[in-house]
Amino acid sequence: MKITKTLAAALAAGLIFSACQTEVEEPNFGEVDGFTLEALAEAGFNTTEVVKVENGYIVEKDIFMTDNDIANLAQGDHISGEHYSTTNLVTGTPRTITVRTSISSFNAALDEAIARYNAESMTLTFQKVSSGADINIVASPWYYRFFGILGSAGFPTAGGDPFNQIQMTTSYYSGAPTNGIATVIAHEMGHCIGFRHTDYADRSYSCGGATDNEGDGGVGAVYIPGTPTGPSANSWMLACGSPTGDRPFTSEDVTALTTLY
């Protein structure tokens, strides 16, 4: 999930001050090569803000992908609606997915995020554990803040397992309400089980700025039947948000969740 532009400006001002005091330099892992950008574009992903990080890339501000993930993107069908899934989904349902957080201050928010999913009639249920989890919530590398990244996660594996890690940029959440943090965690959990952003056709709906179409028929973005064909207001899977914004599931979100699972 990406922070909204207004909030980003305010946070960036504070970051510049802090960086000047500590003499921290912006990290540089090199340029994203043209072959990678072409593969992402053909898959329907936005390529204007791809960030190269250790061991992979951050795409669309909160989706982690390795070179292997990008190479193995499978061709999908034309899409024309607002709720989307990846071509890989969690299999073996009904299934319980275990989640843990190594960030003690996030325990209440994780409880809330899990409760939101488990309140729906899904073939997936979530359970918090203290070790051996399917999905681990950890602190992101310090440099994620330079790029305005609230959190990141990946998509399910080709073998049908959820993505195994959510990284949260903890410096953004000091003083944030539990429900705001829970919304970001639930959003990243959504990616882990195969959901893409609901404002896929135009990220400016939640992010502001100029029209920003992520592509309409590429690989790895499959329209979920029964969901809106216009903007899905207040969806938990909107591309941009803030650490303080609470977005519990809307009725359209519930349709998307129960259609897939």
What does the mean pLDDT of the chain come to? 81
Q: What is the pLDDT of residues 10-22, one digit of tens each?
A: 333 333 222 233 3
User: What is the residue range of 198's domain?
Assistant: 2-260
Cα-based torsion angle of the residue sequence 254, 251, 154, 125 in order, rounded to the nearest 10 degrees: -30
Exposure string for 146-172, b = 16+ CB within 10 A, e = fewer: bbbbbbbbbbbeeeebbbebbbbbbbb
What six digits make up the tokens of 234? 């207040």
Q: φ and ψ at 18, to 5 degrees?
A: -65, -40
Quickly state the pLDDT bin for 5 (edges 50, 70, 90).
very low
When divided into structural domains, the chain yields a total of 1
Sequence-ordered list of residues with C-beta below 8 angstroms from that of 52, at least 6 positions apart, any chain: 29, 30, 31, 32
Cα-based torsion angle of the residue sequence 9, 10, 11, 15 in order, rounded to the nearest 10 degrees: 90
Sequence-ordered list of residues with C-beta below 8 angstroms from that of 130, at least 6 positions apart, any chain: 100
Q: What is the pLDDT of residues 31-84, one digit of tens each?
A: 898 889 988 887 777 787 799 998 899 988 888 999 988 887 754 443 434 576
Q: Which is more confidently placed, 125 or 75?
A: 125
**Whole-prediction pTM:** 0.80
**Cα distance between residue 261 and residue 255, in whole Å:** 10
Q: What is the pLDDT of residues 167-217, one digit of tens each?
A: 999 999 999 999 999 999 999 999 999 998 886 555 566 677 655 544 433
Sequence-ordered list of residues with C-beta below 8 angstroms from that of 64, at least 6 positions apart, any chain: 53, 56, 57, 58, 152, 153, 154, 163, 165, 167
- Could you tell me the CATH number of the domain that includes residue 252? 3.40.390.10
> Is the pLDDT reported for residue 219 higher than 70?
no
Q: What is the pLDDT of residue 218?
A: 38
Q: Are 136 and 100 in contact (CB under 8 A)?
A: yes
| β-strands 222-223, 84-85 pairing | antiparallel
Q: What is the pLDDT of residues 220-255, one digit of tens each?
A: 567 788 887 666 788 998 888 889 999 999 999 999
